[in-house]
Amino acid sequence: MTEFFKLGGIGVMGYISPMDTGDTYAVIDPLYGIDGIRNVENIDEMIEIPFERRRGGMIVGVQYENKYYKLKNIEWVGDLSDWSELYLVTVDERQSDYNFSDKEIPEGSVNDVNHTFTLSNIPILNSEHVYLNGLLQESDYDYIINDNEITFYEPPISGMRIRCSYRY
């Protein structure tokens, strides 16, 4: 079932050492085992992984659904909301599905007052890299992006350069 080649690399996750085949939990921490990632049969089995065996970022393959999930780094409540589904694609699919815009100059006046700038396309969520005078800005800290509009929390000062690279 495991097709970790879709994540890139050769499918080695966790420590390279003798396996403890009695360990049925997915782990990434030597405190609870050395077996790296494990598949589980169904969603319920994944949700029932004890909190003491969990580590934020761990990946679990669910065989019945042929899906992969990553444990969120949050305060867990013990249900499916603790997990994010991973969407794996092959390299060929990834290359054909996206277009790229590199170093695009968004439309809008850089004049000490204007906060909002417009891109030519709507970026794929979290694919954008916004630069102000060559410095990478942080999403949700320096700016927010909705559809194809970038809104800076502080208006860029006259003469500053804005560039954005993204997939769409």
- Domain layout of the chain by residue ranges: 4-91, 98-167
Residue 103: is its pLDDT beyond 60?
yes
Q: Tell me the average pLDDT across 85-102.
A: 72
Q: Classify the C-alpha dihedral 82-87-91-97 as positive or negative.
A: negative
Task: State how far the alpha carbon of 25 is from the alpha carbons of 21, 33, 50, 96, 125, in Å.
Answer: 10, 9, 9, 36, 32
Strands 143-146 and 129-132: unpaired
Q: Tell me the average pLDDT across 19-47.
A: 63
Q: Tell me the average pLDDT across 69-81.
A: 89
Please give the pLDDT value at position 64: 85
Q: Tell me the average pLDDT across 12-29.
A: 48
- What's this model's pTM, rounded to 2 decimal places? 0.46
Residues in the chain, how many?
A: 168
Which band of pLDDT confidence, cut at 50, 70 and 90, is reported for residue 9? very low
Which residues have CB under 8 Å from 145's CB, separation 6+?
Answer: 123, 128, 130, 139, 151
Please give the pLDDT value at position 4: 47
Which band of pLDDT confidence, cut at 50, 70 and 90, is reported for residue 131? very high
Q: Tell me the average pLDDT across 83-94.
A: 70
Please give the pLDDT value at position 120: 97
Please give the pLDDT value at position 58: 80
